[in-house]
Amino acid sequence: MFQTFQPLPPVDRSGGRVERSVAFIDRSPVVVFEKQGQSLAPAVDCDWEAILGSYDCGPAICLESSGWEWSTADKRNFNCHALAIGSSVGLGPDQWLEGLASPATMHHNPVGTLLARCFERISSKTVTSKWRSAIREHDVFVCYDRDHDHYVHSGFLKWVAGIPMAISKFGEGPIMITTLKLIERFYQGAFDELRWYRPKESTQRRKALRSLDQGDSHSLTGSDSASSMPFRCHVTATVAFA
């Protein structure tokens, strides 16, 4: 899919100098940052489970797994878009994928380019009972700001006991399992459309199925307006490589 990535001059970010590389897909550049441990923002050591749990929108569990390269990699080196979108086209957990065009990305939006070229758009609806039949496990969601062509956040779907859960990464923080409602609340005001995508068949391989968790279960406590329901899940995800 991609031509070979070629190095670009590094750029100055808030955390220091960051390496870049570029590949082209259908003549459109896709620039990725290669941070190599550099932080793009001042490091904040915080309890993400407590912070996200304070929104009272269901469980917020850090995903820890020794069997999945994304959960054991240096969390400073990749972001939500690299995990949810880049992983479907062969990027790895040492690359950072921007969701906004800038001079550093050659004035192209890397996430927008990949979604347009490598994914099929499913809908722009939330996961309600009406739309559940259209959304599959491991479909990608993006929180999109139409006014600024900014992909604010992304992740992929995991059905747990009939409840749509999101697996996503929060900035330079951990990979989390949360409800979609929590993500909508956390990023409220930063986006105006929740879009759903699915990797095109041409970007997938049969061997792309990878386990996020090698046999262990995560105890989650889910809640909604009517009741609190404990449940357990074995989490798996599709990670497709070009």
Cα–Cα distance, 143 to 93 (Å, whole number):
21
Q: What is the pTM of this model?
A: 0.80
- Sign of the dihedral defined by the CA atoms of residues 212, 126, 124, 55, in that order: negative
| Mean pLDDT of all residues in 176-203 | 89
Q: Using 50, 70 and 90 to split pLDDT, how confident is the model at 114? A: very high
Q: Using 50, 70 and 90 to split pLDDT, how confident is the model at 15? A: low
What are the pLDDT digits (tens) for 48-95? Answer: 888 888 988 988 888 876 567 888 888 888 999 999 999 888 888 889
Cα–Cα distance, 145 to 153 (Å, whole number):
10
Q: Which one is predicted more confidently, 23 or 242? A: 23
According to DSSP, the residues that pair with 31 across neighbouring strands are 22
User: Contact at 8 Å (CB) between 52 and 171?
Assistant: no
The two tokens of residue 139 are: 């479909």
Q: Any idea which residue has 């005001």 for tokens?
A: 189
Residue 223 has a pLDDT of 35
Residue 226 has a pLDDT of 26
Count other Cβ atoms within 10 Å, centred on residue 147: 7
User: Contact at 8 Å (CB) between 49 and 55?
Assistant: no
User: Contact at 8 Å (CB) between 140 and 82?
Assistant: no
The two tokens of residue 56 are: 């009272």
Question: What is the 8-class DSSP label of residue 152?
Answer: E
List alpha helices for 21-179, DSSP H: 48-53, 69-72, 80-84, 110-118
How big is the CA angle at 118 (ends 185 and 176), to the nearest 5 degrees? 30
Cα–Cα distance, 218 to 47 (Å, whole number):
18
Sequence spans of domains, the chain:
6-36+58-238
How big is the CA angle at 93 (ends 89 and 94), to the nearest 5 degrees? 110
User: Contact at 8 Å (CB) between 86 and 114?
Assistant: yes
